[in-house]
Amino acid sequence: RVQPVESGGGSVQTGGSLTLSCAASGYTSSSDCMAWYRQPPGKGPEESEAVADISSDGLTRYDDSVKGRFTISQDNAKNTVYLQMNNLKPEDTAKYFCAPGDWGGGVCYPAAGYWGQGTHVTVSS
């Protein structure tokens, strides 16, 4: 595993859309997964929220706050995971990270030490 690289952040108005990309090292095990997290302004890394997970075979999980608005997907040929964010709200403003992990019980548990640098998303009202 290597540290992933996130991109695609920006500033949009309420109701707008953005697609984030996460370039990673690719899956090597059927238990591998990727997850998106976000760190709201003024909060420390330990307060990051899990946003969406995807397993190597395409199972997904979403936080209730983004269900119906965000879609996580992946292109295994490109070793890239995406987060399509629609109908953005000011409370979605955060620094978004992706991280590889291990899938278990329908959840992607992040592997220590492989967090990316993040990409900023700002949603104005």
pLDDT at residue 112, rounded to an integer:
81
Q: What is the pLDDT of residues 53-109, one digit of tens each?
A: 999 999 999 999 999 999 999 999 999 999 999 999 999 999 999 999 999 999 999
DSSP labels, 52-119:
EEEETTS-EEE-TTTTTTEEEEEETTTTEEEEEE-S--GGG-EEEEEEEEEEETTEEEEPTT-----E
List CB contacts of 73: < 8 A, sequence separation 6 or more.
Answer: 54, 81, 82, 84
Portion of the chain with pLDDT greater than 70, in percent: 100
